[in-house]
Structure 1
Amino acid sequence: MNYSRIRLLLLKNAFLSLVLITVYGCNSSDSQSEQKISKAEAKNYYNEKTEVKYAKGFTIDYFSHYKIVNIFGTSGQAADTAKYLLLERGTARPEGFSEVQLIEIPVRSMAVMSSMHVGLLGFLGSENVLTGLANLQYVYSSEVIKMIGARKIAEIGRDQGLNDEKLIEMHPDLLMTMGSPGAKTQHYQTLEQAGIPVLTNSEWIENTPLARAEWVKVVAALLNKEEMVNKKFAEMEKEYNRIASLAAKVKDKPTIISGLNTKDAWFLPGGGSYMARFFNDAGADYHWNDVKTDASLPLNFEAVYPVALDADIWLNVGFDKNDTKKGILAMDSRYGDFKAFKTGKMYSYNNRVNERGSNDFFESGTVNPHIVLSDLIKILHPELLPDHQLVYYKQLR
């Protein structure tokens, strides 16, 4: 018997068995890993979803472990649309979205470019995720001001732009900016290359108060706070519609004028604008309501003067919290001819302006349209809301 040959065969068989066990074990391990991933993805993360009812500038779609958010610009063109993949942290990126901007959720740290974005976070009680602001001066939220004092929030603006170096050093989970989605600047490209996703907030394209307020749902999707936003938005929406229905029943609508003449023109809200919708829902008779544009109307003083002469109430007059009737008259003596000036029915939205110069009308006012509307109804039809005290608006003395 050839013992050497038998020994060689046994060694070959042992080696082959070892290879098979190793391969099988690896394949089994890979298979189990894949099963874990697939089970994670199969899990329904989103028992609570949010629906977009009023806003035209964004959509949110829900899938097993990710969301797709589309932000639209004013042009309606594909080039002016941004798509974002909101992916649950620790799960696999789905196929077919390799070119889509990825944002891992829930977002843990966020830098923002506008105080309006602060208002969105405040609505959700999520100021704690804020780590960067374009300008630390212009903020109204007392909670955020405390965070600034504690050096928890950095200034990310510089020379009317962005401090890229500071942002890259901070490396927030997300930068929320303003403008149109199609306007990709070098700043944003640099940040995205550094692994900082940039999301464009285009709430300014909306032409109704509830539509602008609804942008809080984008932030809720980033933070996985759909349950909270659904509850709070529904309460606000219900109250807005309730008080708007009161004003809709009035027969006598006061005539109004809005704004002030500047050096170049008197800019009035177009009849299809956000502010004009406030006027309409508050029961006002607005002369330019039928000019259906959401843009401002740049008119000269002579075109506005005949309407302003007889307007019952003058809204949105003044630029500063310290404005007075005397100060307004000093700007142009012709203001003294206005009926509203003579009766003293002049109101500005500068009631909540802090010592930093930040106006809360543009911060929390955006997500509290029911309170803004209550102010306007109190001014136009005080009998409808006898117990309401003005919050954002005040009468000039």
Structure 2
Amino acid sequence: MLLAGLVLASTLGAAGQAAASRAVPQRAGATPQVLARTTVRYAKGFTIQYLPGYKVLTILSPSGQQTTATRYALVPRGRAHPAGFVASQVIETPIRSLVGLSSLHVALADFLGASDVLVGLGSLQYVSAVPVRQRIAQGKIFAVGDGRELNNELLIAHQPDLVMATGWPGEGLRKYQTLQQAGIPVLLNSEWVETTPLGRAEWVKVLAALLDKEALANQKFDQIAREYERLAALVRQQTKRPQVIVNLPFKDTWYVPEAGNYMTQFLRDAGGAYHWAGVKATGSLPLTVEAVAPVALTADYWLHTGTLTTKAAVVTQDARFAAFRPFKTGQLYNNNRRTNAQGSNDYWESGAVRPDLVLGDLIQILHPALLPGRQLYYYQKLK
């Protein structure tokens, strides 16, 4: 959690088709089924193309100046598979069973009201969505391990329609060959390459395309995007930009988001001044405490203190932190208000698909007069 928002920037344009409806060819005598289309407006890491009888989902994995792409044919169940796709890159839709290896995948399913499609997760502990926790309690979801030590035998025994994985851009799907050879498609979800909060949240449209829920995704995502833009517009005319520092050191290294990190975009849109916003990179910059201290001594706010909830715990980690101005003024906020009894922090789950709520919290913290009466949702002040 200390490495808040480690992402890589994508310089690729995302393409989409114009929003419309399409008639999917049916068997003779069947009533034609009309499905909605979606467009990609903010995300840079995937495209969706609608072709006669099927969709093409392309996952883009940028690495340096090179880009690799993995294409999937999303074909209505029971239809002939199109030419040009190997078996492991054909996914029959709508998918009925999904194994997700990231908390984001839980959020995507919950956002679309499709928690019942989840049959497996990397870990059963760190889950916030109530419908998914209920399925876990009922024994309807099994644990498969993380991306490095997957239980392939268990996965093959269950034969899910899709395994949604996560990983580093450009690494490909070689480590999932065992599953692919067993007829289980694996899709690499690279939402964390996005450089903007709305781009990251728009990955919900990937799962929507797999579930034939584009209409619902369009409706809900567009509402979130409008609210996000409305909130961002509130602070554009603010002349006062409070100085913000973020995170805590991890093993003597203080990682701060760089210019292309989506967390930096959150701070811009919330009307904050951020010292490292000009560092032209897309991940996190490793610094020493001594390098951060001159900024922290005069900062106005301090965000993201890991799992800590009290000022006493902060100085226990390093007594020098008591000299930082936000510590003295009590302006320390953490994004762990929605942490459940199992230790799962919903900020890292639903927060990925509700950037409007995250931005609202940040504006409320940095410019409280702009949102009078609003209650913090993901954040809380350290006691």
Task: Tell me the TM-score normalized by structure 2.
Answer: 0.89
8 Å Cα contact 2:88/2:184 also seen in 1: no
8 Å Cα contact 1:269/1:295 also seen in 2: yes
CA distance 1:285–1:76, shift in 2 (3 Å)? closer
Residue 360 of structure 1 deviates from its aligned partner by 0.6
353, 357, 361: which one aligns with 2:343:
357
Using CA pairs under 8 Å that are at least 6 residues apart, name the structure with larger relative contact order, 1 or 2: 2
8 Å Cα contact 2:201/2:353 also seen in 1: yes
Determine the structure 1 residue equivalent to 2:39. 51
> Match of 1:310, SS?
coil
Residue 53 of structure 1 deviates from its aligned partner by 0.4
> Match of 2:370, SS?
coil
Q: What does the per-residue CA deviation read over 1:244-267, in whole Å, with 9 as the maximum and x for residues that have no partner? A: 000112111111111112323111
Q: Which runs of 4+ in 1 moved over 4 A?
A: 37-41, 43-47, 76-79, 184-187
Give the counterpart letter for 2:373 in structure 1: D
Alignment of 1:56-75 (within 5 A): 56-75=44-63
The answer as to 2:113 corresponding to 1:92 is no
Determine the structure 2 residue equivalent to 1:377. 363
Give the counterpart letter for 2:301 in structure 1: I
Select between 89-98 and 306-315 the one with higher mean Cα deviation. Answer: 89-98
CA distance 1:39–1:350, shift in 2 (3 Å)? closer
148, 164, 167: which one aligns with 1:176:
164
In 1: Cα distance, 2:279 partner to 2:171 partner:
29
Determine the structure 1 residue equivalent to 2:322. 336
> Match of 1:72, SS?
strand
Select between 360-369 and 265-274 the one with higher mean Cα deviation. Answer: 265-274
Determine the structure 2 residue equivalent to 1:166. 154
Residue 200 of structure 1 deviates from its aligned partner by 0.5
Structure 2: segments with no counterpart, 5+ residues = 1-23
Select between 154-163 and 107-116 the one with higher mean Cα deviation. Answer: 154-163
8 Å Cα contact 1:270/1:296 also seen in 2: yes
Q: Which has the higher helix share?
A: 1
Give the counterpart letter for 2:358 in structure 1: V
116, 120, 123: which one aligns with 2:104:
116
Give the counterpart letter for 1:340 in structure 2: P
In 2: Cα distance, 1:387 partner to 1:166 partner:
50
Name which one, 1 or 2, has greater alpha-carbon Rg: 1
Q: What does the per-residue CA deviation read over 1:145-198, in whole Å, with 9 as the maximum and x for residues that have no partner? A: 110010010111169520000000110000000014643455511111111100
Residue 78 of structure 1 deviates from its aligned partner by 7.5
Q: What does the per-residue CA deviation read over 1:27-69, in whole Å, with 9 as the maximum and x for residues that have no partner? A: xxxxxxxxxx98759x985542100001110000011221101
Determine the structure 2 residue equivalent to 1:81. 69
8 Å Cα contact 1:44/1:65 also seen in 2: no
Determine the structure 2 residue equivalent to 1:33. none
In 2: Cα distance, 1:392 partner to 1:333 partner:
27
> Match of 2:195, SS?
coil
Determine the structure 2 residue equivalent to 1:296. 284
In 2: Cα distance, 1:328 partner to 1:229 partner:
40
8 Å Cα contact 1:58/1:71 also seen in 2: yes
Determine the structure 2 residue equivalent to 1:277. 265
Q: What does the per-residue CA deviation read over 1:250-288, in whole Å, with 9 as the maximum and x for residues that have no partner? A: 111111111112323111010221000000000001111
Determine the structure 2 residue equivalent to 1:388. 374
Identity within the alignment, %:
49
Give the counterpart letter for 2:354 in structure 1: N
RMSD: 2.1
Determine the structure 1 residue equivalent to 2:332. 346
In 2: Cα distance, 1:165 partner to 1:126 partner:
26
In 2: Cα distance, 1:241 partner to 1:78 partner:
32
Q: What does the per-residue CA deviation read over 1:53-109, in whole Å, with 9 as the maximum and x for residues that have no partner? A: 011100000112211011011227887321111101111122333467110000000
> Match of 1:80, SS?
strand
Task: Tell me the TM-score normalized by structure 1.
Answer: 0.86
